[in-house]
Amino acid sequence: MLSKPIFKQTLKANFKLWFIFTLIMTALHIVLIAVFNPSTLSDMSNMVKDTPLANLLGEATFLGMLSKTFYGIQGVLLPIVFIIMTANSLIASQVDRGSMAYLLSTPTKRSTVVLTQAAYLILSLILMILIVTLAGLVSISVFQADIQVDTTNYLMLNLGLFLLMFATSGISFFFSCVFNLSKNSLAWGAGLPMAFFLLKLMGDVDSSLEGLKYVSMNSLFDTSAIIDGGNVAVPFAVLAVIGIALYLFGMRVFKEKDLPL
């Protein structure tokens, strides 16, 4: 069962952070959609030709370029930072500060508290990606009316981004439930997602380091496969399973562990 008072309190405490990151992501997405016209794509391809960045930018098509920039860098890094900050504040930070002891001194069960916090994090990500997607669709119709954009592939990119962020949030939320100190929660809950991001980025930039990206969970969000019409059902399912499992494990650990109350 969810607690409406706890959810409202969590929403109020974290709304400003969520709004700032959502606004930045949306604005950046709109700008990239607006500037990626045929002449810009050609100029960028010529500029990075025979450089490591050529591997990063990929094909000089609208969705190809967008998939390697926004869906490969900015659109991944920004929500990761949001997730790290929010997940830590939902559980570990409250235990560390002692506010969790006050909350659990009421008749509210641990299971209710942790389920409500998990629901907030998941719903905040759903709403964030949904807003970015809707803004992107409107921007495409306005700025890219002269070119043919595969809407299905665009929506699949956003679905893949959400599933990656869902799995990433599972990592951060799990460690927030495991540790009673914020420094430990952040060390693992931030360290793994950032390591995955950097390993994937390094593998994309330098072909000699391509093997690194397969160590990263982020490689399950294969934007090239989406653009090329490949089968992404299995990696998407794996991301969903990772996220669900980590949330469930995290909630179970929190309900059973000793707390400094």
**pLDDT tens-digit map of 144-154:** 888 888 999 99
The whole-number pLDDT of residue 107 equals: 82
Top-confidence residue, 235 or 210: 235
107-137 pLDDT, tens digit per residue, is: 888 999 999 999 999 999 999 999 999 999 9
74 DSSP assignment:
I
Residue 226's φ and ψ, nearest 5 degrees, are -65, -45
Quick one: DSSP state of residue 218?
A: G
Cα–Cα distance measured from residue 71 to residue 153, given in angstroms and rounded to the nearest whole number: 12
pLDDT tens for each residue of 12-25: 999 999 999 999 99
In angstroms, the CA 44 to CA 194 distance is 27
C-alpha 33 chain-centroid distance = 20
> How large is the average pLDDT for residues 164-186?
96
Please give the mean pLDDT across all residues of the chain: 89
CB 203 within 8 A of CB 216: yes
Instruction: Look at 3-7, 47-51, 158-162, 240-244 and tell me which has the smallest mean pLDDT.
Output: 47-51
Helical segments of the chain, H only: 4-35, 38-47, 53-57, 62-68, 75-90, 92-97, 99-104, 110-143, 151-178, 182-205, 210-213, 223-227, 233-256
For residue 56, pLDDT beyond 60: no
Q: What is the DSSP code string of 135-150?
A: HHHHHHHHHSTTS---
From 15-24, 54-63, 68-77, 138-147, the region with the lowest mean pLDDT: 54-63
The pLDDT of residue 113 is 93
CA distances for 185 relative to 27, 84, 219, angstroms: 30, 9, 24
Confidence (pTM): 0.91
Angstrom distance (rounded) from CA 103 to CA 176: 17
Which tens digit of pLDDT belongs to each residue from 196-229? 999 998 888 777 777 787 889 999 999 999 998 8
Whether the per-residue pLDDT at 38 is higher than 80: the answer is no
Share of the chain above pLDDT 70, in %: 90
d(CA 175, CA 182): 10
**CA separation for the pair 107, 3 (Å, rounded):** 11
